[in-house]
Amino acid sequence: MNKTKKLFLSCILILGIFNSGARAQDINFNDAWKFYNAEVEDAEKVAFNDTEWRHLDLPHDWAIEGPFDVKYNARAGGLPFHGTGWYRKHFKIDPNTKGKVVRIEFEGAMYDAHVWINGQFIGNRPYGYIGFEFDISKYLKYDGSDNVIAVRLKPEDLSSRWYPGAGLYRSVWLKIDNPVHVRQWGTYITTPTVTKTLAVVQNETVIENKGNNDIKVNVKQEYFSPEGKLVTSVDETISVSANASSTSALFCNIDNPQRWDTDTPNLYDVVTTVTQNGNVVDTYKSRIGLRSIRYTKDGFFLNGKLVRFNGVCLHHDNGALGAAVYRRADERKLQIMKRMGVNAIRTSHNPPSRELLELCDELGLMVQDEAFDVWKMQKVPNGYNKYFDAWGERDLKDMILRDRNHPSIVMWSIGNEIIEQKDKRNGWKVAKRLNDYCKEIDPTRPTSAGFNHYSGPYDNNMAQQVDIAGVNYKPTRYSNIRNKYPELAIVGSETSSCTSSRGVYHLPIEKYKTHASKHVTSYDLIGPVWAYPPDIEFHFQEQNPHVMGEFVWTGFDYLGEPTPYGGRDNSTNGYWNDDWPSHSSYFGTVDLCGFPKDRFYLYQSQWTTKPMIHLLPHWNWKGMEGKNIPVYCYTNCDSAELFVNGKSMGRRVKGKDLTELKVDFLRYEPKTFKSKYRLSWEVPYESGNIKVVGYKDGKAIQEKQIFTAGKPAKINLSVDRSMIKSDGEDLAYVTVRIEDKNGNLCPDADNLVSFSVKGVGELLAVDNGNQTSLESFQADHRKAFSGMCLAILKSSEKSGEIKLIAKSKKLKSSQITIQTK
């Protein structure tokens, strides 16, 4: 099928794939772009010769293609995200489109986007994390000849404290509307009352009239239950002046509503139909959840029930995929977090993708939607502070306009660790102004910000400007804040910052700053000077039940910020390459691949009720025979008993038998902490197996066993889903394990695995979670790290089979088949 025909056909196909704030006539514009990664003159002009440019489809992150290099900043992933990138696309417009309103929407462009249509400059948007659109109607050719869109991006070095990515990394849409239509992000749907028996739903819809005549239109709102059944409809007729807009304000009652919450995230569809003289001129679909939220100084309430935030902070990248947004990548990320017991996400430190918020709606995850990492005072030389005065208000308001119908969003954050915390005179004024913008656009949700200083923002009247003060890394100060500011609601907006490398254990257990291996032990106690083990936060949250919960730094490892290596604090402006090749985060409870670290299970033991048990470390300690190995167990059982080769090492009772941890962090004097959240034994090593059995009410209900692995003998493949969509966008994640002949994971294996693909798909990326690996994410091979690596497959637009074959020298090869449909 040629691209032009495909473009027009997509107008029809998209009827079945509405997203929040979508129209039937919106055309996905991701196909058939051309790309050039360098500065070039005249690339915005129609006659420019782009025949030699690279052909690609969006989303695209040019920086993830690498290569890694010490000349790039390890703080930003050691990847070439800065420079100039050009995108061009040739397309035709149906002549019947003339007279309509045609807009181009970018969901995100990294960074400082400038856009031309047919050689005419139509606008720019600096902030790479916010969506924007331009009306391009008057610049188009409607005679069947080529139109050319050109986009120039110029992300700068030293502009980010983490890996930002580069390029058109989110979707682009061509939007064709009648002169009378619903404005972009034009519905605002709130629920003034939600109880078990009644929901009152208020719908304010902005209708734009781009015509030259005053008109009257009928606006109809239809509400469909989670099962797709029409439950109610309301309508009204309003007047709209020429070249102006008017707002339709309607409400309805829904009896016995199916409420949205974290356990049952029920969603209703709202279809807005605009008719003029009896003819439908626009149809717009929104998706909402019927729920109530409120907060007090003593807690947060969802549907009248006190809930605590078992939250994590997430950066926007997806590891080996970089910043490029694939719905399945975000879905898998959130599903893994749900398995840990997470019920809330903080979008640190920027507006997230549309897909992530839709998935949070669907999965029942509460969201703190965050706007900025910086205001006027800089953290890095080329940061967003350069644009804040000119764009801060617009970017914040657009984020709220775009996102305010999502039931998952329960608070707005106006900033993270803002340097203005130290500004006694003006810092609070900026905070107040941003808070006022939030209330102007959406008064239904509380505001917040992440404060990492104590007691500056509280004494400087900044924390008082938001509804819920976010406390970063100050668990020992929770009671102080309550005593001094008793009416202030607070949440642990960034907690722990514990670091580790999956499957790596250093003996003896000690609290070190860095290790010669440039990895971090998975005994879960190492972090930078401000950081502390999760147990500390658990303890102080229990001691201060008025704190609304926590957002752990972080759920996933992310690209860049390889703390504790390379850099020393959040205000370091320069390069973090002293400990190269460390170039990605150690903070995650799971690694870049999405493979859980041990800390994942420590949180799971606190945040879930389904019986679970976890055991560490591995049991391959050749040369350590007879020497004590610390063995830890994370469980939500009452007690656990450890066995070594069938011999009991004793039973430990949770909450009674404490594990002493070595700690050393700011604002905490003791150098040890006795944790009731971990069970532990000191066990003389002998090869064979260790097994832990968990007991509830005296009955054995869970067990975990680890064997001493032999030599690597084979590759084992497993896939997250055996059936994926044949839409050219869906992904399958294949876990690769190096095992001995008996199927035990070889914990030290680093075998090089080569991949080949047959059938209707492609190998999109590979990874292994090693924070020091300089291997390309886009190669057809990868070394295992701690016995594991990952292959990511992408479907084509054909149904059939994708077969992945994995081989390694001296190992038995393996293959796996995925169906696409």
How many angstroms separate the CA atoms of 1 and 733, rounded?
Answer: 29
Q: What is the mean pLDDT of residues 689-712?
A: 97
What CATH number should be reported for the domain whose range is 3-177?
2.60.120.260
List strand residue ranges (DSSP E) for 211-292, in order: 215-224, 230-240, 244-255, 268-276, 279-288
Q: Evaluate whether 217 touches 245 at the Cβ level (below 8 Å).
A: no
- The pLDDT of residue 196 is above 90: yes
H helical segments located in 153-296: none
Q: Tell me the CA distances in angstroms from 624 to 314, 645, 681, 684, one per residue in order.
A: 39, 16, 16, 9
**How many Cβ atoms from other residues are within 10 Å of residue 77's Cβ?**
28
How many angstroms separate the CA atoms of 136 and 235, rounded?
Answer: 31
Average pLDDT, the chain: 95
Q: What is the mean pLDDT of residues 681-693?
A: 97
Catalytic residue among 355, 358, 370, 494: 494
Query: In the CATH hierarchy, which fold is given to the domain comprising 613-707?
Result: Immunoglobulin-like (2.60.40)
Q: Evaluate whether 520 touches 526 at the Cβ level (below 8 Å).
A: yes
The closest alpha carbon to 315, from 340, 327, 333, 336, belongs to 333
- The pLDDT of residue 240 is above 80: yes
Burial status of residue 332 (CB atoms within 10 A of its CB: 0-12, 13-18, 19 or more): buried
Query: Any idea how long the chain is?
Result: 821
3-class state of residue 539 by DSSP:
helix
Q: Tell me the CA distances in angstroms from 751 to 365, 506, 713, one per residue in order.
A: 38, 21, 11
Q: Tell me the CA distances in angstroms from 581 to 74, 370, 515, 584, 773, one per residue in order.
A: 8, 31, 13, 9, 7
Q: Evaluate whether 702 touches 612 at the Cβ level (below 8 Å).
A: yes
Torsion angles phi and psi, residue 427, rounded to 5: -60, -45
Residue in the block written with tokens 């945040």:
607
Torsion angles phi and psi, residue 320, rounded to 5: -60, -20
3-class state of residue 394 by DSSP:
helix
Decide the pairing of beta strands 299-302 and 293-296. Answer: antiparallel
417 is catalytic: yes
Summarize pLDDT for 107-156 with one digit per residue, the tens.
Answer: 999 999 999 999 999 999 999 999 999 999 999 999 999 999 999 999 99
- Is there a common fold for 180-288 and 714-820? yes
Q: Say which CATH architecture domain 714-820 belongs to.
A: Sandwich (2.60)
- The pLDDT of residue 748 is above 70: yes
Summarize pLDDT for 411-448 with one digit per residue, the tens.
Answer: 999 999 999 999 999 999 999 999 999 999 999 999 99
Q: Which token pair is 303?
A: 């549907």
How many angstroms separate the CA atoms of 10 and 24, rounded?
Answer: 10
H helical segments located in 558-634: 598-607
How many angstroms separate the CA atoms of 295 and 306, rounded?
Answer: 9
Band of residue 570 on the pLDDT scale cut at 50, 70, 90: low
How many angstroms separate the CA atoms of 465 and 421, rounded?
Answer: 12
* Strand (E) or helix (H) holding 584: none
Residue 574: the pLDDT is: 78
- The pLDDT of residue 338 is above 50: yes
What DSSP string runs through 339-373? HHT--EEE-TTS---HHHHHHHHHHT-EEEEE--S
- Rounded (10°) CA dihedral 342, 21, 265, 255: 150
Q: Which token pair is 209?
A: 């009239």
Summarize pLDDT for 289-306 with one digit per residue, the tens.
Answer: 999 999 999 999 999 999
- The pLDDT of residue 526 is above 60: yes
How many angstroms separate the CA atoms of 308 and 292, rounded?
Answer: 15
Q: What is the mean pLDDT of residues 19-33?
A: 79
Catalytic residue among 107, 417, 420, 641: 417
Residue 8: the pLDDT is: 35
Q: For residue 439, what are the β-bridge partners?
A: none
Q: Evaluate whether 681 touches 631 at the Cβ level (below 8 Å).
A: yes
Band of residue 569 on the pLDDT scale cut at 50, 70, 90: low
What DSSP string runs through 63-84? GGG----TTS-GGGTTS---S-
Residue in the block written with tokens 């066990």:
683
CATH 3.30.930.10 fits 299-607, yes or no: no
Stated pTM of the model: 0.96
How many angstroms separate the CA atoms of 797 and 790, rounded?
Answer: 23
The closest alpha carbon to 137, from 112, 113, 152, 120, belongs to 120
Say whether the peptide bond before residue 670 is cis (omega within 30 degrees of 0). Answer: no
Residue 17: the pLDDT is: 29
3-class state of residue 432 by DSSP:
helix
Q: For residue 397, what are the β-bridge partners?
A: none
Residue 25: the pLDDT is: 73
Q: What is the mean pLDDT of residues 691-702?
A: 97
HSE (side-chain half, CA atoms, 13 Å) at 486: 1
Residue 14: the pLDDT is: 26
Residue 567: the pLDDT is: 73
Burial status of residue 32 (CB atoms within 10 A of its CB: 0-12, 13-18, 19 or more): middle
Class in CATH terms, 180-288: mainly beta
The closest alpha carbon to 142, from 117, 173, 122, 121, belongs to 117
Residue 538: the pLDDT is: 98
Residue 16: the pLDDT is: 27
Residue 3: the pLDDT is: 39
Torsion angles phi and psi, residue 101, rounded to 5: -100, 120
154 Cβ contact partners less than 8 Å away, ≥ 6 residues apart: 83, 84, 85, 111, 112, 114
- The pLDDT of residue 36 is above 70: yes
Q: What percent of the chain has pLDDT over 70?
A: 96
H helical segments located in 269-348: 327-340
Q: For residue 249, what are the β-bridge partners?
A: 204
Would you kindly state where each structural domain of the chain is located, as residue ranges?
Answer: 3-177, 180-288, 299-607, 613-707, 714-820
**How many Cβ atoms from other residues are within 10 Å of residue 99's Cβ?**
11
The closest alpha carbon to 619, from 631, 633, 602, belongs to 631
578 Cβ contact partners less than 8 Å away, ≥ 6 residues apart: 565, 566
3-class state of residue 95 by DSSP:
helix
**How many Cβ atoms from other residues are within 10 Å of residue 245's Cβ?**
14
394 Cβ contact partners less than 8 Å away, ≥ 6 residues apart: none
Q: For residue 273, what are the β-bridge partners?
A: 220, 283
Summarize pLDDT for 243-291 with one digit per residue, the tens.
Answer: 999 999 999 999 999 999 999 999 999 999 999 999 999 999 999 999 9
487 Cβ contact partners less than 8 Å away, ≥ 6 residues apart: 297
208 is catalytic: no
Residue 9: the pLDDT is: 31
Summarize pLDDT for 621-664 with one digit per residue, the tens.
Answer: 999 999 999 999 999 999 999 999 999 999 999 999 999 999 99
What angle is formed at CA 352 by the lines to CA 348 and CA 356, rounded to 5 degrees?
A: 115
Q: What is the mean pLDDT of residues 513-526?
A: 96
Question: What Rg value do the Cα atoms of the chain yield, rounded?
Answer: 27
* Strand (E) or helix (H) holding 396: helix 385-403
How many angstroms separate the CA atoms of 30 and 228, rounded?
Answer: 29
